[in-house]
Structure 1
Amino acid sequence: MTTAAPRIAIVGVAGRMGRTLVNAVCQDDGATLAAGIVEPGSSLVGADLGELAGVGRLGISAVDSLASVVDDIDVLIDFTTPAVTLANLAFCAEHGKGIVIGTTGLSDAELEKLDGYAQRVPMVFAPNMSVGVNLTLKLLETAARALGDEGYDIEVIEAHHRHKVDAPSGTALRMGEVVAAALDRNLKEHGVFERVGQCGPRQASEIGFATVRAGDIVGEHTVMFATEGERIEITHKASSRMTFARGAVRAARWVSGQGVGRYGMNDVLGLDEQ
């Protein structure tokens, strides 16, 4: 691996996030766009990546196979689906490539499989690559430790566009995990993801979740700490996918100089060193 201008490949380059990632790599002087992958048999095979992304012709054609560009890339960025991501992770482990994973909706079993590659490939995995979101997670940790055991109810509210297929969002779940860990709670035991009908009064230890799916909302997350006479809300709102894409490219630059292991955005941003 090299820390200078890593050659980046993007999976799912025909999708909205894939096109945004192409744009982000092109804007980054510390990275080089080397390849873009579309689904096997796609009519977009051979299309110019720059024209797909609306940034002008780049002279790099979309391909439908990672194997065809294996010698041309250093790091793969993957914001696809769990099954595709795991297959690409296996490919990177076999061929000594780094990988940045922004895929959400992975099951516990799939997360275990991801962990199984930690000693074989350098990877950054995060449900949200936004620098602002990851700073927000640090704020939530601080707030939870200060407020959570002092009679404050905790609720996580998230909103995304109508096309998002998983709920709650990976970011909302991560926020819940951070808060739960700070309070020495287990989110699987204390998370409440549905309230319907006569569900009874709220329990003090609950961490509640509410989900909105509407229109073209890019991503909004609020964690509420509420008690008698006071409410504190910590909110992050994304107005463009570019914030996630820039974070992913930053992660790709960083991981290109790392040894094998599973890393998060805290590692990329050095937040645990603060």
Structure 2
Amino acid sequence: MSVCDVVVMGALGRMGATLIRLAKADPEHYRLAGALERSGCTDGLAGLECVVGDDLPTVLAKCPGAVVIDFTAPASSVASAAAAAAAGNPIVIGTTGLSPDQIAALGAAAAKTPIFFAPNMSVGLNVLLTVLPDLVRKLGPAYDLEIMEIHHNKKADAPSGTAIKLGQCLAEARGVDYDAVKRHGRDGIIGPRTREEIGVAALRGGDVVGDHTVYFFGPGERIEVTHRVGNRETFAQGALRAAAWIRKQPAGKLYAMADMLA
């Protein structure tokens, strides 16, 4: 397999720094071709021995074919996708909290260049998404479905993109529209729980990287399925694997973890 060139957005952030460290530690498979930070913050990129800067089109002009990896913020990631599409570079996006309109913008950019988008880059979590529908169907409608997610105290969006993805997975298995049955948090006198709703609770505290538990509450029993991430390397390894995969795919669709794992 040829070496995969990568360009890391937000190179001084927690995820960016992890991606750079792992890419540099595996020169047989990856090469750090470029690194970007916000304007006025690029001094910390000195010594990386790659193209550095604060403007993605300028960096991509010097890194043809390199795969951009972006874990920044929704608006920034959409802008990165547009820049990558204009330059013809593939891009991997692991940012959470994107609105439907922003995801649609990624889809439009994907018509011009291969784009991989996943709110959770953990391979284990995405394998779990393939298992949960079978549980939903076999347990049947008598089981109430709930989700709880826990993240560090600096996470900006809630519920997490992963919790929403889990909820969508459960809803699809039941043949219902997630937006019609979701209950993101509960407060006040709201009445009894309906059979159809899927509740999602978000907890924030400390330095928790990401915990997600799906509950199946049945008559006289319950099943809890939990996925915990111990460190950000899990997401970074998944993103690097996605980068090596997406560069070989044609443009024309917004790729997800399910496509790669298939």
After TM superposition, is the score higher than 0.5?
yes
Which of 10, 13, 29 is the aligned partner of 2:11? Answer: 13
Q: Unpaired segments of 5 or more residues in structure 1? A: 50-58
Between 1:238-247 and 1:116-125, the stretch displaced more is 116-125
Aligned twin of 1:182: 173
Which residue of 2 is the match for residue 55 of structure 1?
none
Structure 1 position 43, deviation (Å): 5.1
Which whole-Å CA distance do the structure 1 matches of 2:25 and 2:114 have between them?
24
What residue in structure 2 maps to residue 262 of structure 1?
254
* Counterpart-to-counterpart distance in 1, 2:111 and 2:176: 29
Q: How does 1:85-124 map to 2 (within 5 A)?
A: 85-124=77-116
1:66 aligns with 2:56: yes
Amino acid at match of 1:228: P
Mapped to 2, the partners of 1:148 and 1:161 lie a distance apart of 34
The yes-or-no answer on 1:32 pairing with 2:31 is yes
1:23–1:148 distance in 2 versus 1, CA, 3 Å: farther
What is residue 56 of structure 1 aligned with on the other side?
A: none
Secondary structure of the residue aligned to 1:232 is strand
Alpha-carbon distance between aligned partners in 1 of 2:52 and 2:18, rounded to the nearest angstrom: 15
Task: Report the CA distance between 1:69 and its aligned residue.
Answer: 2.3
Corresponding residue number in structure 1 for 2:221: 230
- The whole-number CA distance in structure 1 between the counterparts of 2:109 and 2:97 is 18
Q: Give the % identical residues.
A: 43
Evaluate the alpha carbon distance shift between residue 66 and residue 118 of structure 1 in structure 2; reply closer, same or farther with a 3 A threshold. closer
Structure 1 residue 23 corresponds to structure 2 residue 15: no
How many angstroms apart in 1 are the aligned matches of 2:52 and 2:106? 27
SS at match of 1:93: helix
2:47 corresponding residue in structure 1: 48
Deviations along 1:159-201, one digit per CA (max 9) or x if unpaired, are: 0000000000000000000110111111111000121111111
Unaligned runs of at least 5 residues, structure 2: none
Q: Do the aligned partners of 2:92 and 2:243 also contact (CA within 8 Å) in 1?
A: yes
Q: Is residue 150–residue 204 contact of structure 2 (8 Å, CA) maintained in 1?
A: yes
Change (3 A) 1:23 1:45: closer
Which position in structure 2 is the counterpart of 1:157? 148
* Number of residues of Structure 1 aligned to a counterpart in Structure 2: 258
What amino acid is aligned across from residue 220 of structure 1 in structure 2? D
Contact 2:38 2:54 in 1 (8 A): yes
What secondary structure is seen at the aligned counterpart in 1 of 2:102?
helix
Amino acid at match of 2:12: A
Provide the aligned C-alpha RMSD in A: 1.4
Query: In 1, distance between residues paired with 2:117 and 2:23?
Result: 18
Counterpart of 2:163 in structure 1 is 172
CA–CA distance in structure 2, aligned partners of residues 154 and 63 of structure 1: 46
Q: Is the 8 A contact 1:129 1:265 kept in 2?
A: yes
